[in-house]
Amino acid sequence: HDEMIRHARQVLSDNDRGAYTVPTHGLYPFQWNWDSALSALGFAHYDEPRAWTEIETLLDHQWDDGMVPHIIFHAPDDGYFPGPEVWGTGRAVPTTGITQPPVAGFAVRRIHDRARDSALAGRQARALLPKIHAWHQWFYRCRDPEGTGLVALLHPWESGRDNSVDWDDAFDRVPIDGVGEFTRRDTAHANPAHRPTDGQYKRYIWLVQKFKSLGWDNTKLHDASPFKVVDPGFNAILIRACEDVADLAARLGMEEIAKESRAMADKGVAAMESLWSDELGQYLCYDRAEGKLIPSASIGGVLAAFAPIPKHRITALVRRIEELGEVCNYLIPSHDPRAPEFDGLRYWRGPVWLIVNFMVADGLQRAGEREIIDRIMGDCLRLIETSGFAEYHDPVTAEPCGGAHFTWTAAMIIEILH
Ligand code: DGY
């Protein structure tokens, strides 16, 4: 294991650009939001100042309305599409105009609570919590305008699970007219069979153009978007982050933040119940534009375990994961291998992602589900031993997929092995 940790640290250091890390050289040459926050967990085990810097840099690029963008284009790189000119958000340091799963609140609490330098941790947490809290408030204000307790995603890229089967039907309603010619760059860095399709890319870009035409005004985007999906995994991350912020803020004497965060978390947990499916034994996405649940057996509904959901729901999710464990060799597949849409190589339509395994296991830990946690963590280590620090892996064959030498995969290994 020492050798594996040494290797993982090498990956982090190779992808370190000073004040931020890139997910991997070539395919993703900028700072990505949730990649950064989760990668900070890895740094924190051996370089706490560097871990804090990672999150500080991310929050330095927060918008005035509270949104924290999904990509920060720190330095030009023409090896990525869609770059800053496509987004046109008009920021001095260019960013995209959409967001990503808000794991930063969770990461800050975790890094703070186990810090060796507690003075530094206290200072950093005090500076970061108000910004993270403003981001969480932005979510409930702009992505849940009717106050349901659940936020909607307006672009599949916001979910982090870009081409999940979950979005297929809702995404089909996104038109492609007016999307001009463009050249994808991702397929020059990674095997096209591991990536989203050209048809999906046209729709990704249509949505970007639509939001750009509205001046990236977040008071307008929610109602104007034809794609509005509530993802249980995403909401679970937000709820968990609110809970973590509430807990830490209370200990740091930041009473108002603590109170408001707690209220958002409680409301979210209650609202999650509306997404539960007895039939599939997991949570489901909800298509807000159509007003119906999406019967898709994907990892989003299992990732819900990351939130403080009721114990009987955790128990049911453990059953669900055990069931998945019988039909693949490596937990947890991002889509049910028995479903017709399953594709073990294609990004979020089947492959295993270590960050998801980590978050699910962390949630189950709170409920004391030891046996399944050991299986999930053991599978993570076997995957990396067999196939290296890939972006994601085939849950049946362990084939390494997407980008190689991947920052958050390495960070998760450091986290698991400590
Ligand atoms: C990509 O470019 O594939 C990213 O996932 C978008 O965030």
pLDDT tens sequence across 231-243: 999 999 999 999 9
Interval between CA 28 and ligand 1 midpoint (Å): 8
Buried b (16+ CB within 10 A) or exposed e, 240-274: bbbbbbbbbbeeeebeebbebbbebbbbbbebbee
State which of 30, 35, 157 you would mutate to test the pocket of ligand 1, scoring each by most atoms of that ligand within 8 A of its C-beta: 157
Q: Among the options 48, 260, 391, 394, which is catalytic? A: 391
pLDDT at residue 367 in the model: 86
Residues whose beta carbon lies within 6 Å of some atom of ligand 1:
70, 157, 162, 186
Structure tokens of 382? 């076997």
- Closest ligand 1 atom to residue 28 Cα is 2
Q: Which atom of ligand 1 is nearest to the CA of 195?
A: 3
Residue closest by Cα to atom 4 of ligand 1? 157
- Ligand 1 centroid to Cα of residue 82, in Å, is 9
Tell me the per-residue pLDDT of 338-394, one tens digit each, with 9 for 90 and over: 999 999 999 999 999 999 999 999 999 988 999 999 999 999 999 999 999 999 999
> Is the backbone of residue 147 left (phi > 0), alpha (psi -120 to 50) or beta?
left
Residue 243 is among the residues annotated as catalytic for this protein: no
Closest CA to 228 of 164, 278, 321, 156: 156
Closest-lying ligand 1 atom to the alpha carbon of residue 81? 2
Q: What rounded mean pLDDT belongs to the chain?
A: 98
Average pLDDT over residues 276-303: 97
Whether 391 sits among the annotated catalytic residues: the reply is: yes
> How far, in Å, CA of 369 to CA of 321, rounded?
12
Structural domains of the chain, ranges and CATH numbers in brackets? 2-417 (1.50.10.10)
d(CA 81, CA 174): 20
| Centroid of chain to Cα 343 | 20
Report the pLDDT averaged over residues 216-226.
98
Rounded Cα gap, residues 293 and 277, in angstroms: 9
User: Dihedrals φ, ψ of 283, to 5°?
Assistant: -80, 160
DSSP 364-418: HHHTT-HHHHHHHHHHHHHHHHHH-S-SEE-TTT--EES-SS-HHHHHHHHHHH-
Q: How far is the CA of 32 from the centre of ligand 1 (A)?
A: 9
Catalytic option among 16, 162, 231, 343: 162
